[in-house]
Amino acid sequence: MFQKLKRIPSTFLLALALFKGVSAVETALKACSALSVTSHGTDACTATEITGTFCLDTSIYKAEASGCKLPDGDYLFSTTDGKTLIPIATGKSGLLYNIAPGSVTQRANGNQLANSYLFTCTSNTCTESTKVGYFLTSGSGSAKELYHCSSTTSCAKKSGNGLPEGYYPDASTATTSGGKTTYTKLLLCDSSKCVEEPTALCATSYYGYGEEAITPIGGSLTYKKLIYCETATSCTIDTTAAKGVYLGGKGCGASSNKVKSLINCTANGVCVDLAATQNANYIDGSNASKVIQCKSNTECSSDTGEVKAGYAYLNSGDVDDANVKSVISCTGGTCTPLPFGNAKAASGTAKAINTGFMNARTGATNKLIVCSTTSCAESTETGADGQAIIDGSSYADGKFTNLIVYGSSALVALAAKATPETPSSVAGHAYIDLGSKDANSNYPNIIKCDSNNGCTVIEGELPATGVGYIDAITTKNIITCASGSCTSTASVASGLDNKFYIDGTDAGKTKYIACNSTQCESKTAVPESDTADKFYPDSQTATNIIK
């Protein structure tokens, strides 16, 4: 007779199937007692015996009666059964144990080093890392140490002098796409410990890479490489460390994302931390169209450079003995240093040319920068009638072609006006050289311009010579140079009472200036068709006649 069939509910069959299909994940090595292994040998396992299954007692033993004992070292066991030994060289994950004299320790959490391999452990399960670079150790928070993997099979602990201070990309956060590796976090090592950077990373900022960094005797910590963070969660290694000044991310996240430190890289690829200084300006080493400006000792930013003609910044990156030796000009879109603002020294009969620039620094109260052949500095000069200064950024082909002039109660670069202008080259027209101010606050020199030679500086002649100059800004004014200082005043001509001066811009002294009540103009003294001498009253010295 056949056995009577029994009906089994489908829900029970489903539960049974699920139970048989799910295998538990072991979180620790099986105890020897749980495997009914009650006796152990005292000998260490030979190389051929370090295979198969093992169990935990006072040490780790072969899971068999009188089984041998594993020698000191690191071992990986299967999470499937909690007893099968897995070779570390080929194992991808498992239960990681370390046997040391008198102790057995399971690696439960964090990054763990085993036989030159790095494992990341979470809740007792350890997985081999497939990334290279720097990783925190379990002791990093209280010691200056990191794990470093040059490859997935060659990892070691770096510490002490073998681990320079600085920032390191956290390799555990690395992702690679298109050959480019980016990191979302950085590690920071100081003289006593290494930690994950405690503050948020700052976008478009640089950090000194500790790898290969050195501290020369009596010197500052120097870096050969930088880490660039494009965003707060995307950083890359910059191995070039090109010459320039960079926004530094150090401490930035702790100050509402305000950059308060800089990094300065010299031509030989050595970079050092640079403290922010109020009102400092630098060409941005990462983008030559931008200028780094520090509004205070704790806030710097990188801004597109002012491209208007005649504008510049003092170059804080070019200072010697407290003297600024150049300005930063961004005319044309690329910011470059102009040594001493293109100022020219006196040579022979040629007068020295001190140059000027409209101050492009954000928030500057001093609107003018003046450069000599020894230094450049912000100036408190605000200008006066008839005054101008040669625009140092206009120097090309051996001549200057633009001026900064005083007009409508303010200084303005002619070439930067809404409708750009050029300096006047009309006969007799001139400007008082604001750049020639001496220790006695006198302005002894004159600027004259022509279309061929550009703008040059000449010494203003004394009233006794009968010389005057037409104020090129206000042409009814006359410029005279009494007591070694040139000033512009109304000609005081009225009705038929014209005023006359020898034209000081005419090197041959063949012209004179005649002023009526509305304007002054330069005229030829003796037309070629007229051989008779002409005489005019000297408007500066009543007892003299201009012939």
Position 539 pLDDT exceeds 90? no
Decide: 385 and 488 in contact? Cβ < 8 Å: yes
State the residue for tokens 């625009």.
391
Listed range (277-291, 325-339, 514-528) with the worst mean pLDDT:
514-528
Say how far apart CA 59 and CA 182 lie, in whole Å. 43
Q: Tell me, what's the pLDDT at 69?
A: 97
Average pLDDT of the chain to the nearest whole number: 90
Structure tokens at 487: 């000033």
| CA nearest to 78, candidates 64, 90, 65, 66 | 90
Residue 194: helix, strand or coil by DSSP? Answer: strand
Q: Which residue has the higher pLDDT, 494 or 487?
A: 487
H or E stretch covering 7: none
Q: Tell me, what's the pLDDT at 463?
A: 87
Position 127 pLDDT exceeds 60? yes
pLDDT, one tens digit per residue, over 33-82 is 999 999 999 999 999 999 999 999 999 999 999 999 999 999 999 999 99
Q: Tell me, what's the pLDDT at 138?
A: 87
What 8-state DSSP symbol labels residue 284?
A: B
Say how far apart CA 372 and CA 367 lie, in whole Å. 17
Q: Tell me, what's the pLDDT at 18?
A: 41
Q: Name the phi and psi angles at 434, rounded to 5.
A: -60, -30
Q: Name the phi and psi angles at 377, rounded to 5.
A: -155, 155
Residue 19 zone, left/alpha/beta (φ > 0; ψ -120 to 50; rest) = alpha
pLDDT, one tens digit per residue, over 192-238 is 999 999 888 989 999 999 999 998 878 889 999 999 999 999 999 98
Say how far apart CA 478 and CA 50 lie, in whole Å. 106
Say how far apart CA 70 and CA 434 lie, in whole Å. 90
**Amino acid identity of 55?**
C
| CA nearest to 173, candidates 233, 227, 226, 122 | 233
What per-residue string of b and e applies to 391-410 under the rule 16 or more CB within 10 Å gives b?
Answer: bbbbbeeeebbbbbbbbeee
pLDDT, one tens digit per residue, over 227-272 is 999 999 999 998 877 889 999 998 786 666 678 899 999 877 799 9
Query: Quick one: pLDDT band at residue 17, thresholds 50, 70, 90?
Result: very low
Question: What does the pLDDT average to over 379-404?
Answer: 97
Identify the sign of the CA torsion 29, 34, 36, 38. Answer: positive
**pTM of the predicted structure, to 2 decimals:** 0.83
Say how many residues make up the chain. Answer: 547
